[in-house]
Structure formats: C-alpha cells, structure tokens
Structure 1
Amino acid sequence: MKKALALVLAVAMSLSLVACGGAPSSAPASQPASQPADSTPAAPAPTSIRVVTTYAGTDSNAQNYKDAVAAWEKETGNTVEDATATSNEEFKAQVLADFETGSEPDVLFFFNGADSNSFIEGTPKVVSIDEIRSVYPDYASNMKDDMLGASPVDGKNYSVPVNGFWEGLFVNKDVLEACGVQVPDANTTWDQFMEMCETIKGKGYTPIATSLGEIPHYWFEYCIYNFLAPATHNVLPTKDAGNAQHQAWIDGIGDIKALYEAGYLPKNTTSAKDDEMFALFTGGKAAFWLDGSWKVNGVAAACGADADNNIPADEEQLSHFTVTYVPGKNNRKTTDIIAGLSSGYFITQKAWADPDKQAAAVSFVQFMTSDEQVAKFCEASGNLTTALKAGVKVDDSKLNSLQKAGLDMANGATGTAGAVQDQFQGETRNPVFVPGMANIVTGKADIAASVDEVIDLIAAAQG
C-alpha cells in the first residue's frame, strides 16, 4: 500500500485535473524483442493479451479502466482477455499461485512491494523496465524513475504506476447528527474518538463498520501508526528486547481488540464480508468507515452515481458523507496519514518471449500509463500522487463535496507513511490478518505470540 510530504499534499480525493502534455512516444508497437530500436519491422497480426488488474467492484476507476481497454482495442486492433478482480488477500494469493503454476497473465497491475517478491526472486518472471527500454527506449519515459516502485528484492524497477492512494476515515454525518456528535477533525485525539464511539453506541448505532474477518488491514495500519511516526511506520518488527516496532505492533493490535471488546465494531465483524459492512455504513447504521481513496466511487454509487451511464452522485445525498483524518495518539499527529504509490503495471516474461504479445503488452502499458489516462484515473480515484514528470492539476469547480473534503484532508496532512503491510506478504500476514485478527480479538490467540509468529514467518520466507 507511499513519499515525501510534497506528494502527500498532492494526494487527494477524486480530482479533476488537467494533465500537462500528452502520452509519451514509444517504439513501434509492432517491434518484436529481436529488433533494434531503430528498425521498422512488419506489423504483426492483431493479438490477444491476458490482463489482470484490481480495477473491479466499487473501485473508483473500474469504469475508467473498461473505457481505456475499449479505446486501446479500437486503436490497435488487439484484444484483451480481462481477468480483473477486486483486491483482497484471496486475490493476492491467486495471483501468486498463477505464477507458481505457469498461469500468469501477460500484463499484471499489482502491488510493487513485498507482495511481488515471489515472482521476482531468483529468475524474475516479470521484465525489468531497463530490459524493456533496451528494446523500447521510450517506455515509461513520461515517469520519474525514482518513483516507479523499485523491488525490495533487487532494487530494480519492474512496474509502471498510474496513480497513488490515501487512507482516511469516511463519515456518515447523519448518524453523527442523530447522536449529537461532531465530525472528527484535524484536532481530534484518539481518546476523544473513543468518547464519540461510546456515545454512538449508546444511541443504538454501530460506531465503526469493518470486516476484521476479511479486510482487517486498514485498522491494523493506523492503530500501529498511533505508536510510531511517519519515518518509522514502515520498519518491520524484530524480537530484540525493547524493540520499538515490536511493542508498537502489540499495542496497536491491542487497541483493535479494545475496540471489539468495547462493542464499537459490528457483532459479526469477524465473519461478515466487506461489502456487508460497507452497506451498514452507507445505509445509516454505522458512523465510520476506514478505507482508501479508491472507495470514493462506492460512496458515490450509494448516492445514485452510475459510472456506466455517466450519471453523477446526487449531491444532496452525497453531502451527508465526508472523509477526515483518523484520530491519532502518542507521537502520531492526527494529520499524519498513510498514502503514496503502491501498485503498477508489470509485463511478464511469458508475454515478453512472444514477439507479438510483447509488442501488444508494451503498447497496452504505454497507453494505460500515458499522461492522459493517468489524469483520468487520478480524477476518479481521489488523489494526485503520480510519478508523472508533468504532474497533474486540480480544477476544484469539478469536484463534488466528498471529493473536496478529501482534497482538504490531503492538503492539510503533516506527514505520510506507506502501508507497512507492503513490507511483508502472503501467508506471513496470516497471524495478524486473516484469520489471525479474528482470533486475536475474540481471545483465541495471544497478540504478542501472533506478532512473533509473523516475525518468524518473515524470516523463514527470506531464507
């Protein structure tokens, strides 16, 4: 699931923007790997490439992705076999399993941190940007190389990002009003937030809608962040005596358990699906929902938006929702947020070995990461963090009330950290994610022992 404060100030909700400049030029899309960059080979016959992304479900860019794919197919004559799915731990595991069985796609939009380690370690199953540029010298030339998301395995760049993300606290203002509670702001502390939750619970509402049995990582991130700081949040814990990260993880997860024990989470939080919890929030049964900027479209859809038919959300309905900072404590300021760049487009060795698919894959990624497309994706997803050399700009007049609230939140950020979950992957997360978090909050697993188990699994995975 990241960058300097200057980037965070750019991270924002669904921003309308004007990209400076157009898509970069590239080597001819028809050029196979065996051809030098200045050759002019015969154009290959149209081909089909298999693509997997996370632009599905209520992701704010689901429709933009579909539109872009259709435009690329029309422009090139190629076709896309799309296997896009909603991102969760099951999706990640399936992607990694596909690489293990030789079923990987030709192009993959995926996380560029530890999640991608397994298909880069040893002989990489994806192609580095340097290798691609040896044949297509203008590949990703519109991007800043130091923001492309170098792999923790070998420091090389393999993926080309589109736009970044932020994580924030969505608020149902109707629930707060019914409970006589004010919307949390930049000055709200964790203790004050707990008092709000107690009041909301007392009025018969659920304070926090969340699925700890399916997607526990948002609260995991911020509760640990509360015991750290932007500069230290991304450091993995060790078992060393007095290790600050180790204690921060124990204390942070302890706060999640405290939320559960206080009755501030839904009674079925350990078994309910994420979409059930989101419906609880948008349906006026719960006050708060912690998620990423990609959830903007989900809130808009609950307010009448229809991306397929270009129908915007009903502004009156949307005005009943907002997004704000997650209240902080200890060294973390409430205005320190989690944000950055965490995903990008990979081209697999499978596609690279086939001259026609190679050319199509390069053309596809170039199209999807052009200045024009990145601008559209930034506008819909709610942030301006990109690796574009030209950057993007915001036209406030095109933003709805929820988008403006997100922009205000991002512009007021005092610090940023990437999501620490990006530093470890797959089954190493299980003791504190799924099913671990559900076991922890219900008392079936010990917090310290679970953290130690994660540390051991990380060590074993690293060999």
Structure 2
Amino acid sequence: KVAADFAVGNEPDVIQYFTDANASDVLAANKFVSIEEIRKVYPDYAKDTFDSDLLAAANPDGVERAVPTTRYWEGLFCNKDLFDKYCLELPTDWEKMESAINTFKENGIIPIAVSLNNVPNYWIEFLMLSAAGPENYETVPESAPKDWCKGLAMFKTLREMGAFPVDTDTIDKDFAGELFKNKQAAMQLEGSWSAAGIPDQVNTVVTAFPIIPGGKAPAGSIIGGISSGFYITKKAWDDPDKRDAAVKFVMAHTNKDAVATYWGGNGQAAAMVDPLDDMTPLEISGLNYSNAATSISAPTDARISQEAYNILVAGIVDISTGARTPEDLLNEVLQVNAK
C-alpha cells in the first residue's frame, strides 16, 4: 500500500519506513529528500544521531535519506538455568554447542527451538555468516559460494544430531517461541525486539553464536543493523507551508531524548543515551552482547530481492532432510535475484 501511495502521488509529508532492499519499490519513485540537502538549510538536522548509524541507514544506492532511532541485533538466547541444571557451559564455541545439544537431548530438553518451515531466517543468517565471514557473507555472488553452502549444510548436521523439535517441519515461529519461554527448549536464535516478551528476565541470557567448524567469521560476529528511519518527502520539502513543520517533526522524534524512548533498553540506540535504571538482567545481557560485537552484518534479505529470499527460506526443510543440496537451492535463489 505504501508503494502504491507513492506511485500515485499520495505520499505523506514524513514517513518512518524501511531503509534496506525492502524499500526498493518506494525508493524507485525518487520522492525522498537526502539528509545532505536538508542540512544545507537546517544544519542541526539529525545532529544527535551517530554518523555511523546514518551511514548504516543509507539506502542501497548509498544515499543517506533516513534518520534512524534504533539498531536491532540478533543473538542466541539461552535459558541459563537449564545450562546450570545440567552443569553445562554456555555455547560460546562449537564444542560447547555440541555438548549442550547432546546433554539436553539425553534429558528430554529440546536443544534448539526453531520452526524450519516457518521462520528459519535467523539460522540461515548466522550459519552463512559463520561459514563465510563478514566480507563474503555480505557480497551477493552470481552462483552458490562454497562457504554459503557449507553454512547451510549445518542444518542437516544439526537435524541429525537431534537439535531441533521433532515437529520442526510443522510448528510455526510462535509455537517455537513458546517452547523456549516455557523452558521446554534451551536455546533460540531471535532478535532484540523479542527480549521484552520473554517471561524470565533473570535467567535468560544472550550470547554470541559459536563459529561452526572451519568457519571464517571471527568470534563475536553478529547479525544486526538498522531497518527503518524517518524520511521527509519532496512533496513536503518543496511546500513552503510544510517544510519547517516536517523538519521539526523528524528532529523531535530523533533527538537523544526521543531516541531513549524508542530504544527502551531493546537493541541499541542510534544516539548517545544514558542506560536505563530499570533494565532487566536480560536487557543488560543483550546490551553487553551487542556492545562486544566484533562485526555487525545486515541479514541477507537486505541485499537480495524478496522473491529470492522467500525461495531461500522455503528450501530449508529440504536442506535439513537432505532432499536438496545447498548448492542447488542457492543457485536458484541467486538466479531469481539476478532477474
């Protein structure tokens, strides 16, 4: 609907919208004003926002148009009380991950809560990043890279280890989430936005994803970034009666006080904010996790078309069962993306 409104000249004065490839249809209309142009008239525009975050929020063409409020991250959530119960160390390396999977499986605990048929997205990202390293992970090739294939092949390895729920092919993301929240599962890959919905804020921690055997990523490589920000449209900018109001609106929503409200302890703030006094142990764990990141890479759907990404997600069950090879799936994905 947003793209349709822009196409027919019905765009708003200001909009908080995607910054990555998900915004391609709207960006194609060329109706947003760049931050550079706005600052020629309003030099204090987005003054509280970190320069690095403005750069991270740049559109795929490299132009900075959006002013973000928060960064998100994805990480490995662990029910630490279950790890403690079975005298297990947190899975900070792959050996510890395998030990945890085997021990939990032996004791009737699902090692990893995930729906492979619904939202295997976070596992796709971390396995490919772990195998390829940030640079190769962030490059969109023409054909299936060996490192990407190696990462996706871990789905089959993990399935054969018994790491996933027995009904991972039929349950949905919400059901998988409940398994983790109810302590029926020990681990779950999720985003920062989900932290507030976890009942046990004391015994849940976030840790870096362990690098798979032979993986090229340095320890502490994470998935994250900025997916949205405030834009001013040319329609408002070119209207003398609307320009000043539009600029003041965005500045009111992106100054450090407003950013602190948007942030609320989840993810990372895009401006310098003070830590909240009432942050829970889980929120503090997430903040420490993201602050310790050695590299932050945006997920694959920020770089390839939605059609191509949907094919990738839909093929994971077959990868995990061995019905299809990672190379075959990735070649189809990249061919569709190249259209």
How does 1:29-428 map onto structure 2 within 5 Å?
Answer: 107-121=14-28, 123-133=29-39, 136=42, 138-145=44-51, 147-148=53-54, 149-153=57-61, 155-184=62-91, 188-239=92-143, 246-299=145-198, 302-303=199-200, 318-329=201-212, 330-348=215-233, 361-384=246-269, 386=270, 388=271, 391-394=272-275, 398-428=278-308
Letter in 1 for 2:193: W
Letter in 1 for 2:253: M
Instruction: Note the alpha carbon deviations across 1:298-338, whole angstroms, 9 max, x for none.
Output: 12xx24xxxxxxxxxxxxxx222111111113222332223
> Higher relative contact order by CA 8 Å / sep ≥ 6: 1 or 2?
1
2:75–2:189 CA contact under 8 A, matched in 1: yes
2:220–2:293 CA contact under 8 A, matched in 1: yes
2:49–2:255 CA contact under 8 A, matched in 1: no
Task: Assess, with a 3 A threshold, how the Cα gap between structure 1 residues 445 and 144 changes in structure 2: closer, same or farther.
Answer: same
Q: Aligned-pair distance for 1:271? A: 3.5
State the TM-score, normalizing by the size of structure 2. Answer: 0.85
Higher helix content, 1 or 2: 2
Instruction: Note the alpha carbon deviations across 1:39-78, whole angstroms, 9 max, x for none.
Output: xxxxxxxxxxxxxxxxxxxxxxxxxxxxxxxxxxxxxxxx
C-alpha separation in 1, matches of 2:180 and 2:210: 19
Q: Aligned-pair distance for 1:454? A: 1.7
Q: Aligned-pair distance for 1:281? A: 0.5
State the TM-score, normalizing by the size of structure 1. Answer: 0.64
Instruction: Note the alpha carbon deviations across 1:163-196, whole angstroms, 9 max, x for none.
Output: 2122211111233344443323xxx322431231
Q: Provide the identity percentage.
A: 35
Unaligned runs of 5+ in 1: 1-93, 240-244, 304-317
C-alpha separation in 1, matches of 2:181 and 2:52: 39
Instruction: Note the alpha carbon deviations across 1:233-265, whole angstroms, 9 max, x for none.
Output: 3111232xxxxx711211111112332343311
Letter in 2 for 1:246: P
C-alpha separation in 1, matches of 2:249 and 2:319: 44
1:169–1:326 CA contact under 8 A, matched in 2: yes
Letter in 1 for 2:153: G
C-alpha separation in 2, matches of 1:426 and 1:280: 29
Task: Assess, with a 3 A threshold, how the Cα gap between structure 1 residues 453 and 351 changes in structure 2: closer, same or farther.
Answer: farther
C-alpha separation in 2, matches of 1:269 and 1:106: 44
SS at match of 1:431: helix
Task: Assess, with a 3 A threshold, how the Cα gap between structure 1 residues 349 and 441 changes in structure 2: closer, same or farther.
Answer: farther
2:2–2:26 CA contact under 8 A, matched in 1: no
Instruction: Note the alpha carbon deviations across 1:352-381, whole angstroms, 9 max, x for none.
Output: 677766665444322221111112333421
Q: Aligned-pair distance for 1:144? A: 4.6
What's the counterpart of residue 330 of structure 2?
451
C-alpha separation in 2, matches of 1:291 and 1:113: 20
1:119–1:126 CA contact under 8 A, matched in 2: no
Task: Assess, with a 3 A threshold, how the Cα gap between structure 1 residues 140 and 211 changes in structure 2: closer, same or farther.
Answer: same
Letter in 2 for 1:126: F
1:128–1:157 CA contact under 8 A, matched in 2: yes
C-alpha separation in 1, matches of 2:207 and 2:100: 15
Task: Assess, with a 3 A threshold, how the Cα gap between structure 1 residues 134 and 383 changes in structure 2: closer, same or farther.
Answer: closer
Task: Assess, with a 3 A threshold, how the Cα gap between structure 1 residues 147 and 400 changes in structure 2: closer, same or farther.
Answer: closer
Task: Assess, with a 3 A threshold, how the Cα gap between structure 1 residues 108 and 457 changes in structure 2: closer, same or farther.
Answer: farther
C-alpha separation in 2, matches of 1:102 and 1:207: 51
1:174–1:284 CA contact under 8 A, matched in 2: no
Letter in 1 for 2:33: V
C-alpha separation in 1, matches of 2:44 and 2:244: 13
C-alpha separation in 1, matches of 2:70 and 2:218: 25
C-alpha separation in 1, matches of 2:95 and 2:5: 45
SS at match of 2:69: coil
Instruction: Note the alpha carbon deviations across 1:78-123, whole angstroms, 9 max, x for none.
Output: xxxxxxxxxxxxxxxx6556656777665443331222223223x4
C-alpha separation in 2, matches of 1:246 and 1:441: 18
1:235–1:420 CA contact under 8 A, matched in 2: no
SS at match of 1:456: helix
Letter in 2 for 1:369: T
Letter in 2 for 1:451: L
Task: Assess, with a 3 A threshold, how the Cα gap between structure 1 residues 458 and 419 changes in structure 2: closer, same or farther.
Answer: same
Instruction: Note the alpha carbon deviations across 1:401-438, whole angstroms, 9 max, x for none.
Output: 112222332343333333333112311212212x2323
C-alpha separation in 2, matches of 1:344 and 1:158: 9
Unaligned runs of 5+ in 2: none
What's the counterpart of residue 64 of structure 1?
none
Task: Assess, with a 3 A threshold, how the Cα gap between structure 1 residues 113 and 168 changes in structure 2: closer, same or farther.
Answer: same
C-alpha separation in 1, matches of 2:236 and 2:43: 18
